[in-house]
A and B are shown apart, each in its own frame.
Chain A
Amino acid sequence: MTTPYQPPSAPVPPHTPPHTPPVPHGAPQAPQQQMPPQPGHPYPQMAAPAAPQQQPVPQQMPQPTPPPAGANPSQPYAAVGGYTSPIPVRGTHLGHALASEWTKIKSVRSTIWTLSVMVALVVGIGLLVSAGTSDDEYTNAPPTLPGFFGTLLGQLCLVTLGVLVVSSEYGTGMIRTTVTACPQRGRVLAAKAMVFFTLSFITTTAALALVAFAGSGMHSGPGVMEPTGDQMVGATIGAGLYMSLLGLLSMAVGSMLRHSAGAITAMLGVVLLPAILPAFLMMSESLQDLGETMQKYSSPNALASLFQLSDELGSGWSQLGVLAGVTGAALIGAYVLLEKRDV
């Protein structure tokens, strides 16, 4: 019925001690006993069932847990010893999840590609606009302005990446492996959010800072508006925060919808509809207020405010606050659904 496991025959050691008589090939037990245990092998039990296509591993490793495989199939409960791993067991915390998520996000090409495209768009468009404009155009607007044009497209890259960070795990089935490795699902979501947000915030802010300083450097002639500290912060950290928060919102939406295409479409709606709909809403008298509010908090308008495109727009931090609130709520929703649903 059962086929007892036959371990691959151990090789005769090449250096048999001289005082030992030569061992016939038929008795592989004798040389086994003379071989020293492999020093420092952390998983002695594990080395034994090594893959068959590898060199046969000598079978003399200490086996504290007794019965040889298939020793007596008719007494299946002869070995109720249990197995204790030689590796010490330590608890895990958020730090472990963060390290894991960092490895995950940097080891797939989509991350590198989308972030590269985002940086290329922000820096490329920003520098092109800076180079293509003259000092005269910065009498009323700060020379940090060119960064704005790149963010309009660059934010879409972060939307895509944010969605993919979670939904690709659902698409591939990786999420089951992830949750098996870390059953504290909230911790997985928190680690994903922190790693993604930090990575995208640093990347966007660095790209925007490059554009802002390059713009100020290119246009510093007389009459050019000197960017205030506020404008500088808005054009770099402010816009960087806004784009990263939008990415984080996408991640939360991706986690709730669990479907890449669906979540990206939903997020395009979130980004584009408030910019398009007001044009129609404004036509109706009664909906004018709604249209104006929608326009104020639409993504292009919020970014324009952060870059202080014109004085009427305000500083943009109120829009940033609203986005942060919406993102927070979406993350809570994502957490609740993640805990509740089967993966």
Chain B
Amino acid sequence: MIEIEGLTKAYGDTLAVDGLSFTVRPGVVTGFLGPNGAGKSTTMRMVLGLDHPTSGRVRIGGQPYERLTDPLRHVGALLDAKAVHGGRSAFHHLLCLAQSNGVADSRVHEVLDLVGLGSVARKRSKGFSLGMSQRLGIAAAMLGDPSILMFDEPVNGLDPEGIHWIRNLMRDLAGQGRTVFVSSHLMSEMALTADHLVVIGQGRLLADTSMPDFITEHSRSYVRLRSPEQQRLRDVLAAGGFTAVPGSDGSVEVDGGDPVRLGQLMADHRLVLHELSRQQASLEEAFMRLTAGSVEYHAHPAGADEPAPAAVWGADWRSGKES
């Protein structure tokens, strides 16, 4: 179990993490979600005692991390897959970690086989692909058979097979009763793995809830209407007491509208409709709705014909909302 209480980290005047408090429980995968620069990595580094908090504290099974004498037996972490000495072989990298925590040498081969790096154990990690480095980092995390696992953006740079593998691994580890804490900036990824969600934005806690609750609470349902007579459609809706929001592609959206009533209304006014459909906002949309106010680096869509890069999630959605 990881307990975080009032955790704050200031770099000069900027607060990277601002009074965070939450608990990561065993037995489930807890997703740690937030836009880039929200303070996820900083929080994780403070959990591991790498960064000193400005205030607040972190407890690992009731103890501060610095107090653990064999931390790898309690916490396995993959923060940065490239945080290895490239000149050292995968085997020796894991061996020196095992020795520092009194873990048997035989365990090194076991975790190498577990992550599928057994055949390249003697190769220097400099030549590893990002996917192989991620696997090496996971091997290091699993070395001490810890009850708590932390992964920072573990699927970054992985191919679909690797993503699938990590997803199953995390679910399995949680299924064994371990605490699994995994950060991501991709809501869609979390939707497939996490049972519980901790969402932060600009260092502050935005949500700490179970996945189903998050979905019901935050996803927006609306009815989309499309008609060749745009102006009349809006007038009819306004007359009927509905608040219409223009959609991104000439359609009209009615938040929380009832399609039966809307259909009847349109029939009463003999209005031709090309579309009348109930829509559910995606989780990605729900997440962006929640964090919209706390995105540090906003994307400004370049040209109308040039879609914003996928990495800047939701640029299209946001621009649609603002127009």
Contact = CB atoms under 8 A, between A and B. Distances in A.
Interface of A: 1-5, 43, 45-46, 48-54, 63, 65-71, 73-74, 76-87, 89-92, 96-97, 99-101, 103-104, 107-110, 168-169, 172-174, 176-184, 340, 342-343
B161 A82 contact: no
Contacts of B110: 43, 46
Interface of B: 1, 25-28, 45, 48-52, 65-66, 68-73, 75, 77, 79-80, 82-89, 92, 95-97, 99-104, 107, 110, 113-116, 140, 142, 144-147, 161, 164-165, 167-169, 171-179, 191-193, 195-196, 210-212, 215
B103 A87 contact: yes
A49 B52 contact: no
Given A46-B110, A80-B27, A107-B92, A85 B147 contact: yes
A4 B193 CA distance: 9
Contacts of A79: 26-28, 174-175, 177
A2 B25 contact: no
A174 to B, nearest CB: 5
B100 A181 contact: yes
A96 B30 CA distance: 33
Contact of B145 (A52, A87, A173, A174): A87
B175 A96 contact: no
Nearest to B26: A82
Contacts of B25: 77, 80
Contacts of B211: 1-2, 73, 76
A295 B114 CA distance: 60
A255 to B, nearest CB: 16
A69 B28 contact: no
Contact of B73 (A69, A87, A183): A87
A98 to B, nearest CB: 9
Contacts of B104: 87
Given A5-B168, A89-B73, A181-B72, A83 B99 contact: no
Contacts of A342: 45, 50-52
B65 to A, nearest CB: 6
A182 B144 CA distance: 13
A135 B96 CA distance: 51
Given A49-B169, A92-B70, A183-B49, A103 B177 contact: no
Contacts of A179: 49-50
A52 B179 CA distance: 22
A3 B164 CA distance: 11
Contact of A70 (B69, B84, B171): B171
Contacts of B73: 85, 87, 89
A110 B87 CA distance: 8
A76 B195 contact: yes
A91 B145 contact: no
B118 to A, nearest CB: 9
A-B pairs with the 3 shortest C-beta distances?
A79-B27, A69-B175, A65-B177
Nearest to A104: B96
A104 to B, nearest CB: 5
6 contacts: A49-B168, A50-B114, A168-B85, A174-B83, A183-B65, A342-B50
A176 B80 contact: yes
B100 A172 contact: no
A74 B196 CA distance: 10
B210 A76 contact: yes
A69 B194 CA distance: 11
A104 B82 contact: no
B195 A107 contact: no
Which of B69, B99, B175 has the most C-beta atoms of chain A within 10 angstroms of its own C-beta? B175
A169 B50 CA distance: 14
Contact of A5 (B28, B66, B175): B175
A195 to B, nearest CB: 11
A169 B193 CA distance: 33
A132 B83 CA distance: 50
Given A43-B110, A69-B174, A87-B103, A181 B97 contact: yes
A177 B174 contact: no
Given A2-B211, A5-B175, A107 B96 contact: yes
Nearest to A174: B85
A97 B100 contact: yes
A87 B74 CA distance: 11
B49 A53 contact: no
Contacts of B72: 180-181
Contacts of A96: 99-102
Which of A4, A179, A183 has the most C-beta atoms of chain B within 10 angstroms of its own C-beta? A183
A173 B84 contact: yes
Contacts of A68: 175
Given A45-B176, A53-B116, A83-B179, 9 more contacts: A2-B211, A51-B114, A80-B27, A87-B104, A92-B101, A104-B85, A181-B101, A182-B100, A183-B68
B172 A69 contact: yes
A45 B146 CA distance: 11
A177 B140 contact: yes
